[in-house]
Structure 1
């Protein structure tokens, strides 16, 4: 067990160890594991960013941890238990003697199923599920207008102080570069962040939403271990909450998953949030950088200077994002437009990559149904189609203005719609390029006939109608949809 322990802390840990398979030390707690139960005890210390030095502070933190985590993981968090002294001087749970400390009782889960242990498990569908789950939680979270900017500014200052204090093994000049760049970007984004706080984007959030705090059970992501000990770390901008997951995925080389999680979060968030959703992405590079800096000082405090240096470098790189561009992927239903777009997304623009806007998803939002709920044919009438394309292009315009690369994923069957996309890029002053997916009609018919669980409602009959009126665009790169798409998407994105 690392770190100095108080005599009482050592006594309780020895007692727990006698009942547990093992005890894990974390930055804030000791966790004793039995085959069925995990008991979490807060460290008896003031850690600088969290004060657990008194019995009352530890009780307060555990009560809040139970309250904050139960909504997302109700069958994991069970209750707060008392540790009391017996008449003969021993220790027991919930006895009649003096209360010495408190523990949080949790159901034991498979540590190997925590996503930090299996980052390769975060495939496209899981990333999609996480992005939408997080957005739904944000939409119902309590408003905290006093948070947001104030909370992010606090963390920027805390990062600077802690990185400077733990700079052994770090490049002091890099640390100072990071501090200076972060403070400048915070000043640039301050008005935007303050406005977001005022209009509903500052809420009580998880606060520590990296892969080490997301469990995969029965194919479903389960967030746990919310921050409970400091409101300045949990009453934050919802986008900053998401940024920890995005930064962690990018850092671990899971860029495709990060880009998909961002697009899913935005699509789901657009159902609950209105003004300012896409404008806020101008602050995402700052938020990603601050999250990387948090991990840098945690790694330094955990005596891993190589990892800390890597996080400092990542934090600096996030503050020099690649410029935005507008791209479009068109073609008949079943031609693999969305697959191609998602493969290209992490290569385009600022981390974690381009936002993919699908007319299929925009249409479902406009109809106020779920992203894969079927719609009647009337939803595809010319007027409805025009509205879906207009909304998609409006959102693309806002994203480009916020510095975010965009991929438009739509059939683009006629030259007028193709021209509107290219005109938008010209108006925004960003580069444009298009891809046109091609495949024999029989191949597309077979794909459409067997497709399930997707936002598209296209049938074989609809596909045949598309084929009769499609106008392939001049200047868009033809993509063979029957060949593997990964290499083709990479070549197109880098071209």
Structure 2
């Protein structure tokens, strides 16, 4: 059996010859995706599926490829019946390979009318030509499609919360290999924790959407490159709208529509290879194009598109799901674009371009997730010595670009002591006296207040032993109408002892002067956190691996803000 590369150079090279087609066109051009070869032949396109298996998609034998070619034509005919012409065989006779030629059938192709590439929404966006009227017309067409799309028990089972969870977790599994290539570890972890938190917090809403009949057999791939505006495909029958279009072209009729007619919008290439990617909440379909409009730098058109859909469909519930499904859809685009890097034929320039596009989609996905966290906001990270609060606070500051304020650093600056110079005082003595502690918190509060007032989010790393200390900081944020999140770090005592003893052994690697012999005194002075609302308090056990602690915290914060 030929390898994928051998097949590419046998079948593809054969189909790049004009004589391989019934009408012997003057020119054949090729566009390759991670799952298909598309041959552009005058006014027709032939789409051939690659024999690949991505887990969620399996085209590995001819029977499957024929089945999914038929599915592609049938499903896409719901929205663009005049584009899809059918499925045609590709046959081989000796060494001669031809479309609809003599010999043995070796492959199948979806045959389509060729649409004007300049009228793709993606191209109109690049050229700054997409209008408000255009996106509103697209919204009306999609709303009309969703209204009549299939629903019911089978469709609901394919698009309910368990399926959403499966699709999302599958995305994460399939993109682990791209960490450090097209997605950073911070982006990956934030998106995993955000997605899981949203699904856990909003399970009731997802169930309600299912009962309301909002799960439909939809499109599944509604992005800007799959939508074409303005005019019919070539070779369309000359009746109905086709006759009107002919009259317009010949100057016999002049029409000045307020916006493009839905019938002149062609939406192609829906998901045929996996029903659970196509059968979904209608908000998931809408979010794909809304996300792509954001990607192209038109958040204004994105908002207008969603608003127009809500107006046309009456489905106000999509709004609460929009950022979640935008996150999911941007991640899917990042994943699919990353898959293109597996193509061995990419030039270095093409590889850099593809990687940059994938990175941009992953960044966009994370930006939606972070919208759920109020910004600016104050994060108080406290706890007894040895509980890992400084590590957590610093890592959170780096992860989310927060201004970091440390009590250890502030205290030593006030005492004119180098950060790594240790002052092993008795408990409550010297630079750890009540007066010095009061001054330290006062300086930190002034710095936090100033940063917050300028619009900068802040994380403060200190013990925050007393209710009064915590309250003064949260009151300062509240006076600016900003949220405060309190993180109380805890750990098993055996682990705390190990950490504190290690600090003495490796004193040059730490700023803190905390020691095990002081731990019990501080523990006795601790005032329990009872003044903070449950949805703004995270009690974080840091006993486990350090690499997991920040991830747990991020997940808990996401859960509380939803």
| SS of alignment partner, residue 325 of structure 2 | helix
| SS of alignment partner, residue 37 of structure 2 | strand
| SS of alignment partner, residue 99 of structure 1 | strand
Shift of 1:6: 5.1
Mapped contact 1:166–1:301 kept (Cα < 8 A): no
Mapped contact 1:243–1:288 kept (Cα < 8 A): yes
What residue in structure 2 maps to residue 162 of structure 1?
174
Shift of 1:237: 0.7
Match of 1:233 among 252, 268, 277: 277
Q: 1:17 to 1:95 in 2, by over 3 A?
A: closer
Separation in 2, partners of 1:252, 1:62:
31
What residue in structure 2 maps to residue 28 of structure 1?
35
Mapped contact 1:193–1:280 kept (Cα < 8 A): no
| SS of alignment partner, residue 30 of structure 1 | strand
Shift of 1:95: 4.8
Separation in 2, partners of 1:231, 1:323:
33
Shift of 1:200: 1.0
Shift of 1:320: 3.4
Match of 2:306 among 239, 262, 266: 262
What residue in structure 2 maps to residue 314 of structure 1?
364
What residue in structure 1 maps to residue 533 of structure 2?
none
What residue in structure 2 maps to residue 50 of structure 1?
57
Mapped contact 1:61–1:228 kept (Cα < 8 A): yes
Shift of 1:311: 2.0
What residue in structure 2 maps to residue 111 of structure 1?
117
Q: Structure 1, residues 349-381: CA drift from partner, whole Å, max 9, x if none?
A: xxxxxxxxxxxxxxxxxxxxxxxxxxxxxxxxx
Q: Does 1:92 align with 2:98?
A: yes
What residue in structure 2 maps to residue 14 of structure 1?
13
Mapping for residues 385-400 of structure 1, pairs under 5 Å = none
Separation in 1, partners of 2:297, 2:189:
26
Shift of 1:136: 0.5
In structure 1, the gaps of 5 or more residues are: 271-276, 325-495
Shift of 1:290: 0.4
What residue in structure 1 maps to residue 499 of structure 2?
none
Separation in 2, partners of 1:247, 1:65:
24
Bigger mean CA deviation after superposition, 102-111 or 154-163: 154-163
Mapped contact 1:141–1:205 kept (Cα < 8 A): yes
What residue in structure 2 maps to residue 134 of structure 1?
142
Q: Structure 1, residues 166-216: CA drift from partner, whole Å, max 9, x if none?
A: 224231122112111111112222221132123311111110000011011
Shift of 1:124: 0.7
Mapped contact 2:33–2:340 kept (Cα < 8 A): no
In structure 2, the gaps of 5 or more residues are: 19-26, 232-259, 342-353, 375-562
Mapped contact 2:136–2:305 kept (Cα < 8 A): yes
Query: Hey, which bits of structure 1, 4+ residues long, moved more than 4 A?
Result: none
Q: Does 1:5 align with 2:4?
A: yes
Give me the TM-score of the superposition, normalised by structure 1: 0.60
| SS of alignment partner, residue 81 of structure 1 | strand
Q: Does 1:123 align with 2:131?
A: yes
| SS of alignment partner, residue 22 of structure 1 | strand
Q: Structure 1, residues 35-58: CA drift from partner, whole Å, max 9, x if none?
A: 121100001111333111111111
Separation in 1, partners of 2:171, 2:34:
16
Q: Does 1:286 align with 2:324?
A: yes
Bigger mean CA deviation after superposition, 31-40 or 294-303: 294-303
Separation in 1, partners of 2:117, 2:45:
11
Match of 1:252 among 274, 285, 296: 296
Separation in 2, partners of 1:132, 1:161:
36
What residue in structure 1 maps to residue 229 of structure 2?
216
Separation in 1, partners of 2:335, 2:373:
29
Shift of 1:322: 6.5
Q: Structure 1, residues 93-148: CA drift from partner, whole Å, max 9, x if none?
A: 34563321100111112222211122122211001101111100000001111122
Shift of 1:316: 1.9
Separation in 2, partners of 1:306, 1:225:
24
Larger Rg: 2
